[in-house]
Chains A and B, each alone.
Chain A
Amino acid sequence: MRNFAYQRAGSVDAAVAAHSGQSSSFVAGGTTLLDLVKLDVMQPERIVDVRSLPLYDVERLDDGRLKVGAMVTNTDLAHHPIVTENYRVLSEALLAGASTSLRNKATTGGNVMQRVRCPYFRDGVSACNKREPGSGCAAIGGLNRSVHAVLGTSDQCIASHPSDMCVAMAAIGATVLVSGPNGEREIDFLDFHLLPGDSPDKEHALEADELITHVVLDAPMEGNRSHYLKLRDRASYQFALASSGVVIATEGGTIRDARIALGGVGTKPWRATEAEQSLIGKPANEASFQHAAELAFKEATAYEHNAFKIPLGQQAIVRSLTTVTA
């Protein structure tokens, strides 16, 4: 670990001001940053600690939305009564992630900023366009079974987005509130994470020195049931091979509204909108679910070792929909 300057911010404005400069990082739970700093993959010269900022409230807004402070821990959010009652998919996704001790440290804002688990990114040596733009992508043609995507990939990067929480938020619908040198602004959650395209080093829509202050969840879908299903090799403490977060409302056996988001298979938290659309007005049965699952992976590209993620992701969709409509 290289030495760095450390500063604890007393306010959002102070944090933003302190962050100015290219090699600064905000730290909250530190579960991604400290890991990568110790591996020498990230080398910030200045770390601005935002952990004590007053951003740990969970607040229901008048319009029915839920405003979650960026410093709310994964554990607290997962067990918050409004979340367990109205956003079950989010609670389940959070509890499927990492381990208890990590969830106690990890924050809502930090989890949105979680970085990929691609070993070629993390080893500090291999070709990686995310770490060293223009160096290539060792994952293509390499060992790409577990933490690599089949949706949203490019010939520059195929790393899957690791977050479970973000998959649930993509399904629910959300807005990211950020604060920066030019004041506050809102970013639609689905626009927050960027596809790798030709610039995999650019991972999100934040501009220089902007800090996430809140994530605002859309008002719960009326009459919804929701569920997060995470498939992996071992039963806990592993990133998803494929996961499905679904929110669905039915009337008399017919699907009125549906949201499907996928994890482990996409380069960003993946909303399967065409699959969702195919369900509306259809009977809530296996044929409908199977058809939706196929649509969700219509554009998928398999790599050397991860072709199984396409049928596995489809299974995640079918089973999660079956479970919530049973």
Chain B
Amino acid sequence: MSDDKHGKIIGASRSRIDGPKKLRGDAPYAADHHLPNMAYAYGVFSTVANGRITGIDVSEARTLPGVIDIFHHDHFPNLYRTPSTFAQENKVDETRLPFEDAKVHYPGQFVALVVADTFSNARDAAYRVRVDYEEDEPVATLAQAMESGEPTPHAASGHTRGDPDSAWNDAPHRIESTYITPMETHNPMEMHASTAYWDKGDLVLYEASQGVVFARNVMAKVFGIPPERVDVRSPFIGSGFGSKLWIWPHAVAAAAAAREVGRPVQLVVPREEMFTTTGHRPPTHQTLRLATDANGKLQALSHDGINTTSMVNTYIEKTGSCTKSLYACPNLRVSHATLPANHGTPTSMRAPGAAPGLFALESAMDEMAESIDMDPLEFRRANYTETDESLDLPFSSIHLMEAFDRGAEKFGWSKRTPEPGSMRDGDEIIGWGMAACNWEALKMDCDARVSLRADGTAFASCATQDIGTGTYTIVAQAVSDITGLPLERIEVELGDSSYPSGPVSGGSWATATTLPAIAQAARNAIDALKTYATGDGGAFSGSEADTLTFADGTLSDGNGKSVDYAEVLNQLKLANADGEAHTPAATNDEYSFRSFGAHFVEIRWDPGISNLRVSRVVSAIDVGQVINQTTAANQVEGAIAMGIGMALFENTEYDSRSGRPVNNNYAEYLVPVHADQPEEVDVILLDHPDYAFNEFGARGIGEIGITGLAAAVANAVYHATGKRIRELPITLDKLMVT
């Protein structure tokens, strides 16, 4: 996309600048730090879902080789809870501290922690710690929770306009459907891990974290020390999908153990417990009512969602967050309510609220379209709006119609025959479905620093993170854009809480938040350079700073004199010229900022062997300016793969009797493998800059790709089989004719 504000580096395709480090093994992850005299911690995890500990016998474990200490609720230092507020940047989702008391609220809860000289010795001893419980009946599933009592409503998260119930009752065409989504687990490749040590009362924590600033502030609150005495480092993480946004009990346990034993301590959360004690996407129950007039215009829309939360904290899965503004509708309600269950506390998982919410909404839109005999794409076009009716504000930039048009054209939507089962290829029945996608655009406060260095390089730092998405690379692109230096001469460091305060890598807001601060810091660095250059002994001594120009690493005075900036600095024996900047959060004063898009999906169903697969996906995505074509397309492609998993496979299953999860491993918790990827995935990035949002016009791209994908698959499955699957995942047994 041509654009007069920024140069060619913005929007270019660039490989990740941190790629070589990862290939060489030079990118240390949290558990890659092996410190002198380090001890290893391994958890003992509750095997009951609900109850209390009546006894802990460590006598055998204590005698085993290498055991240093064993912590539990009767032997653990007194710590403090974090107030857990977003504004103070000390939020967590589970506020209960490990080993607070003898209560067990969920299976997989830490009940003891063995610290030993090696990982193997710690695990060996952990297996020999005997815990007795008094066990109560668990609430283990959404169905059990629904039977257990009335959901607690959370009115502040809802929205109502008009009179949706009356309008629905009075409308000529209406549908009502209930959709269920299961518990999903993030399952990043890298285990949650903490490596902690204390140095004269200061805590250093290498943590697999999507938010080092929040992590630092939480640890400061928990240990009752100033945040300046805590440094949290997370330069590389093996993804998180939201599970690493906030501090979980293991990090507190590791840091406390390190202080108690007076040695560095490393704790890696085992894969099984990454299903229980580091968050999950909660199961949801969503009831939708849609009604239209004779022309297919929505007259009523209500979306009432319920999700389970833990016994200790309330987490609301805001399934109606997109419903309130995606389509024009005068009478609308979204509401959210929760029910407690014996699970660890849920947390944000890629596109929280929107991913399960748009499965329901976009499935219901398909059902509504069918009931009024309208093409599902035409139905969405008929209800298009450029106004966020929940805020009564115009969208800053919306190209949803173009997404519909270009996606449909690339996919060949016009060749679709509407009758279910009408498109065949040999043994296979082909189904075509589509859905819209939607995600909010947010921009937070951000600080950053850029230094022009005497060796001819530039250095940028910010306490945000690259969680595998390409943040290092786009920060370098922003520096390059302002300074004209090539990427090879730009060094970027992120993921350390001692750097200027940056955002958590979540909500798809890191790009829009970080880049303006980086750009401003780079401009300020150039200004500092000009000041030095025009001062005593400077290359342009005597000139006015504002008469100088800086381009491609060179200062010029407009009278024929040009000096490389490294030379300017060296001449003055200065290491660098620094610029710091703060850029503010975006507010919804004039505009509603959101991203849009559309998925078109082809599935193939072979009824002879009950085989279902996704064979083709075309996604047209409207996220404003794309900073890096390569990393942006990669985000959408990854989200499509994850959306296929959500549609067809993912489901954390709990036994309703024991309350324990049964498929808490990589073999039985199914995510798509390479062989499940569609033969064709086309990502179309519309690339219209949204300058009302920030100077780069970028809205962020990490999450939108998964929204709506499961609905597009479900709608395609309906088109192939005539079966409307309203409960994810869409497994073959739900489609078999028996």
Give chain A's interface residues, CB within 8 Å of chain B: 1-3, 40, 117, 119-120, 123, 125-126, 138, 141-143, 145-147, 229, 231, 233-239, 241, 307-308, 311-312, 315-316, 318-319
Q: Please measure, in the bound complex, the distance between the C-alpha atom of A40 and the C-alpha atom of B674, giving whole angstroms.
A: 31
Complex-state Cα separation, A113 to B674, whole angstroms = 29
Residue B385, interface by CB 8 Å: no
The interface residues of chain A lying within 8 Å CB-to-CB of B673 are 234-237
| A311 with B657, Cβ < 8 A, contacts A231-B610, A319-B608 known | no
CB distance from B113 to the nearest CB of A (A): 17
Q: Which of the residues A234, A311, A319 comes within 8 Å of B672, measured between beta carbons?
A: A234
Task: Check A233 against B124 for contact (C-beta < 8 Å).
Answer: no
- Beta-carbon nearest neighbor of B48 in chain A: A125
Residue in A closest to B730 when the chains form the complex, CB atoms: A233
Asked if B736 is at the interface of the complex by the 8 Å CB criterion, the answer is yes
Q: Shortest CB–CB separation between residue B648 and chain A, in angstroms?
A: 7
Is B87 among interface residues, defined by CB-CB distance under 8 A? no
Q: Which residue of A lies closest to B732 (CB)?
A: A233
In the complex where A117-B667, A123-B662, A315-B609 touch, is A233 in contact with B731 (Cβ < 8 A)? yes
Residues from 663 to 700 in B contacting A, C-beta threshold 8 Å:
663, 667-668, 670, 672-676
Can you report 17 A-B residue pairs in the complex whose CB atoms are below 8 A from each other? Answer: A1-B124, A3-B120, A3-B124, A117-B668, A119-B662, A119-B663, A123-B662, A142-B662, A145-B733, A229-B609, A233-B732, A234-B675, A235-B675, A236-B673, A236-B676, A239-B667, A307-B738
- State which of B65, B120, B657, B670 has its C-beta within 8 Å of the C-beta of A233: B670
**A233-B670, A233-B731 given as contacts; is B127 within 8 A of A2 (CB)?**
yes
Write the chain A residue with the least CB distance to B64. Answer: A3
Determine the chain A residues whose CB is within 8 A of the CB of B610 once the complex forms.
231, 308, 311-312, 315
Partner of A231 from B123, B609, B670, B675 at Cβ < 8 Å: B609
CB-based closest 7 A-B pairs: A235-B675, A308-B733, A119-B662, A236-B675, A125-B47, A40-B127, A236-B673
Chain B's closest residue to A318 (CB) is B608
Contact B124 A2 (CB under 8 A): yes
Residues of A within 8 A of B670 (CB): 233-234, 238
Contact B609 A319 (CB under 8 A): yes
Q: Which residue of B lies closest to A316 (CB)?
A: B609
Q: Provide the bound-state CA to CA distance between A119 and B738, in Å.
A: 27
Residues of chain A within 8 A of B657, CB atoms compared: 138, 141-142
Instruction: Find chain B residues with CB under 8 A from A3 CB.
Output: 65, 120, 124
- On whether the beta carbons of B655 and A142 are closer than 8 Å, the reply is yes
Question: CA–CA, A241 to B676, complex, Å?
Answer: 17
The total of chain B residues at the interface (CB under 8 A) is 33
CA distance A2 to B667 in the complex (A): 23
CB-defined contacts of A119 to chain B, threshold 8 Å: 662-663, 668
Q: In the complex, A237 Cα to B670 Cα: how many Å? A: 9
Q: In the docked arrangement, what's the CA distance between A307 and B670, Å?
A: 20
Known: A117-B668, A235-B673. A308 touches B662 (CB 8 A): no
Contact partners of B736 in chain A: CB under 8 A: 308, 311-312
CB-based contact A236/B674 at 8 Å: yes
Of A231, A234, A315, which one neighbours B676 at CB under 8 angstroms? A234
**Proximity string of chain B (700-738) to chain A, C-beta cutoff 8 Å, 1 when within and 0 when not:** 000000000000000000000000000000011100101
Say whether B649 contacts A234, CB under 8 Å: yes
Binding site for A on B (CB under 8 A): 47, 65, 120, 123-124, 127, 608-611, 613, 648-649, 653, 655, 657-658, 660, 662-663, 667-668, 670, 672-676, 731-733, 736, 738
Partner of B653, one of A138, A141, A143: A143
In this complex, the member of A236, A308, A316 whose beta carbon has the largest number of chain B beta carbons within 10 angstroms is: A308
Asked if A315 and B608 sit within 8 Å, CB to CB, the answer is yes
Q: Which residues of A contact B124 (CB under 8 A)?
A: 1-3
Tell me which residues across on chain B come within 8 A of A311, comparing CB atoms. Answer: 610, 736, 738
Distance in Å from the Cβ of A154 to the closest Cβ of chain B? 20
Task: Name B677's closest neighbour in chain A (CB-CB).
Answer: A235
Find out whether the CB atom of A1 lies under 8 angstroms from the CB atom of B123: yes
| A142-B662, A307-B738, A312-B732 given; A1·B672 CB < 8 A | no
Residues in chain A near residue B65, CB distance under 8 A: 3
User: Which of A117, A123, A145, A235 is in CB contact (< 8 Å) with B660?
Assistant: A123
Q: Which residue of B lies closest to A40 (CB)?
A: B127
Contacts A3-B65, A237-B667 known; list 7 others, CB within 8 Å: A119-B662, A125-B660, A141-B657, A143-B663, A147-B668, A234-B672, A316-B609
Q: Which A residue's beta carbon lies closest to that of B662?
A: A119
CB B368 to nearest CB in A, in angstroms, measures 30
A47 to chain B, nearest CB (A): 14
Which A residues are CB-close (under 8 A) to B675? Answer: 234-236
Closest to B644 in A: A234
Contacts of B672 in A (CB 8 A): 234
Closest chain B CB from A239 CB (angstroms): 8
CB distance from B426 to the nearest CB of A (A): 12
> Which chain B positions have C-beta within 8 A of A316?
609
A321 vs B85: C-alpha distance when bound (angstroms): 63
Provide the bound-state CA to CA distance between A138 and B658, in Å: 9
Given the complex of chains A and B, what is the CA–CA distance between A235 and B658 in angstroms? Answer: 31
Contacts of B649 in A (CB 8 A): 233-234
Measured CB to CB, the closest approach of chain B to A103, in angstroms, equals 15
| A138 B655 Cβ-Cβ under 8 A | yes
Of B127, B667, B676, the residue contacting A235 (CB under 8 A) is B676
Task: Give the residues in chain B near A315, CB-CB below 8 Å.
Answer: 608-610
Across the interface, name the chain B residue whose C-beta is closest to A238.
B670
Q: Which residue of B lies closest to A309 (CB)?
A: B733
Separation of A145 and B182 alpha carbons in the complex (Å): 16
Measured between beta carbons, the chain B residues less than 8 angstroms from A1 are 120, 123-124
Residues of A within 8 A of B731 (CB): 233
- Chain A's closest residue to B738 (CB) is A311
Bound-complex Cα distance A7 to B706 (A): 51
* B648 engages A233 (CB within 8 Å): yes
Q: Which residues of chain B have C-beta atoms less than 8 A from A229's C-beta?
A: 609
- B residues within 8 A CB of A126? 655, 658, 660
> In the docked arrangement, what's the CA distance between A247 and B674, Å?
30
B13 to A: closest C-beta gap in Å: 30
Closest Cβ of chain B: how far from A257's Cβ, in Å? 24
* Residue from A123, A147, A238 having most chain B Cβ neighbours under 10 A: A123
Q: How far apart sit A188 and B648, CA to CA, in the bound complex (Å)?
A: 40
Cα-based distance from A239 to B668 in the complex (angstroms): 9
Say how far B104's CB is from chain A's closest CB, in angstroms.
Answer: 14
Bound together, the chains give a CA A263 to CA B738 distance in angstroms of 21
Residues of B within 8 A of A237 (CB): 667, 673
Q: What is the minimal beta-carbon distance from A30 to any residue of chain B, in angstroms? A: 16
CB distance from A140 to the nearest CB of B (A): 11
Tell me, in angstroms, the Cα distance from A119 to B663 when the chains sit together.
Answer: 7
Distance from B654 Cβ to chain A, minimum over Cβ atoms (Å): 8
Report the nearest B residue to A39, measured CB to CB. B272
Q: Give every chain A residue within 8 A of B655 (Cβ-Cβ).
A: 126, 138, 142-143
Q: In the docked arrangement, what's the CA distance between A60 and B731, Å? A: 43
Determine the residue in chain B with the shortest Cβ distance to A125: B47
Chain B residues within 8 Å of A2, by CB: 124, 127
The answer for the CA separation of A1 and B118 in the assembled complex, in Å, is 12
Taking CB atoms, residues of chain B closer than 8 Å to A308 are 610, 732-733, 736, 738
B613–A235 CB distance below 8 A: yes
Residue ID in chain A nearest B654 by CB atoms: A143
A146 to B662, CA, bound (A): 11
Closest CB of chain A to B603's CB: distance in Å?
A: 13
CA distance A145 to B651 in the complex (A): 13
Q: How far is the CB of B731 from chain A (nearest CB, A)?
A: 6
The interface residues of chain A lying within 8 Å CB-to-CB of B662 are 119-120, 123, 142-143
